[in-house]
Amino acid sequence: MVSARSPAATAVSIGAWVAGRIDFGTLVGYIIAQCLGAIAGTGIVYVILSGKSGGWDLAANGLGQTTFSTNCSVLSAFLAKFVGTFLFLVVILGATSEKGATPAAGLAIGLTLVISHLALIKFTGSSVNPARSLGSAVFAGGQAISDLWLYFVAPPLGALLAGLLFRAKALEA
């Protein structure tokens, strides 16, 4: 069950809020915590990699940043992020409910995320979590910052649509 006791990724939190699973205050707290956590976590990885024996170069090796503009068009990237997140939220909201999760919820959610990543990684770096994209973009800069808007628009919109469909009972948990 997605509730005030179970934090989720930023887009997932938005979908859970729209579906009526968490309140607005919890949503805001989750988003702030997730963004700060992503930046702090990426900072830790950056420090660790910077101390690598033999050196490590951010420009040459990257830091897991997500970009799309060198891989596909804006429309392709937007649709990939929107549809991928929408489907992920449909599985999450469908496998969980106020009464609890179905027995195979974790497996269904995890496999959906893996399939989404495998399908989208070549196009958009695969992030369905805007906070995760923010964390690496803050340190990588450049194209990752320029492309960041997509990760803060398409996944939340896909999550919003899934949440609305569950709230309207067009889809049932």
The 10s digit of each residue's pLDDT in 5-63 is 444 578 999 999 999 999 999 999 999 999 999 999 999 999 999 888 888 888 888 88
Measured CA angle at 160 (ends 170, 130), to 5 deg: 145
Measured CA angle at 64 (ends 58, 66), to 5 deg: 110
What percent of the chain clears pLDDT 70, i.e. is strictly above it? 94
> Which residues fall within 8 angstroms of residue 89, CB to CB, at 6 or more apart?
11, 12, 15, 158, 159, 162, 163
- Yes or no: say if 18 and 159 are a contact pair by the CB < 8 Å rule: yes
In this prediction, residue 103 carries a pLDDT of: 86
Residue 156 pLDDT > 70: yes
Give the architecture (CATH level 2) of 10-167.
Up-down Bundle (1.20)
pTM score, whole prediction = 0.86
In this prediction, residue 5 carries a pLDDT of: 43
Q: Range with the lowest mean pLDDT among 38-42, 66-70, 108-112? A: 66-70
**Distance (Å, rounded) from C-alpha 98 to C-alpha 72?**
39
**Distance (Å, rounded) from C-alpha 152 to C-alpha 33?**
16
Residue 58, H or E segment: helix 58-61
**How is the chain split into domains, by residue range?**
10-167
